[in-house]
Structure 1
């Protein structure tokens, strides 16, 4: 996505609360990752320890977010800025029991806006927002990305 006006917002889920997590909540984030990706074969970070996650999420320009519904974790995302104008999603997902309810689209919409509206830690404005995808994504994933206005790049699978 090369312009914030390309974002096609999903329906807002006013019942879903989104919050950026701090250092003390990294174990919760790691557990949520495993809950989301276990049914898909585990993902590349299934074996990561809390220390691995802490190291990853401590990188400059990296943020971790958790979505809750009725006080229960329902989704998560890791986003970040390169400092060169690129910003993007490294990880985004919704727990299996809540997939297909519009939570992922709302999460993607809110955090895409956040990436456009906030500069990198070095002050550089965002000029492009990207998504990292894998061949074994949930079937709703890439259609959700495309519906939000993201475009297929040369490396987009699916």
Structure 2
């Protein structure tokens, strides 16, 4: 007697490579030249979940940033209000172009938790300058948060879902690879800044 039971296929998955990079001295930073034009980088000093969620979805929607999409308003607020958390936003001609989110950790490390540009602003030499500026703010973060230890290390991770120029930008800015791992993640649709907004 043959087994004719059919099992429904499981959810599709994707293998993702994660690279972790670091700087261990402010002297490691190799700043990019600032692009021409009206580009300003400003710290968002009011913890505002609505604005942070906009930045997160607008920057990460086409590269499958999904880990924060299920967070409640209160969870966003908690993340933004933790001591040593900072969001630095790049504006071109008054329009948000991208951002860097920093997280000061108890061991003297500062993580660049999120970094990226809204798609319309990519490929215009803004990313190198924004990363340079955000990394410099990670190194001097304790000046604005005297209760935090002086920064001894700045680190971040990027992955194979990120844009094709992400790794090169990090290496050019003086970050060094210290860990590589591969994980399996659910294969999700690009969420875009709002449902159905993926234009690719």
| TM > 0.5 fold call | yes
Match of 2:159 in 1: 134
Match of 1:65 in 2: 88
Greater strand content:
2
| Deviates most, 143-152 or 28-37 | 28-37
Instruction: Compute the displacement of 1:30 (Å).
Output: 1.0
Of the two structures, which has the highest relative contact order with CA contacts closer than 8 Å and spacing of 6 or more? 2
TM-score normalised by length of structure 2: 0.71
| Equivalence map 1:1-158=2 (5 Å) | 1-13=23-35, 15-23=38-46, 25-119=48-142, 121-155=146-180
User: CA separation in 2, counterparts of 1:3 and 1:53?
Assistant: 31
Give SS of 1:19's match: strand
Deviation sequence 1:20-50 (CA, Å, 0-9, x none): 1133643122112101111112332233344
5+ residue gaps, structure 1: none
Q: Would the alpha carbon gap of residues 24 and 81 (structure 1) be closer, same or farther in structure 2, given more than 3 Å must change?
A: closer
5+ residue gaps, structure 2: 1-22, 183-200
The higher radius of gyration belongs to 2
Greater helix content:
1
TM-score normalised by length of structure 1: 0.88
Instruction: Compute the displacement of 1:118 (Å).
Output: 3.0
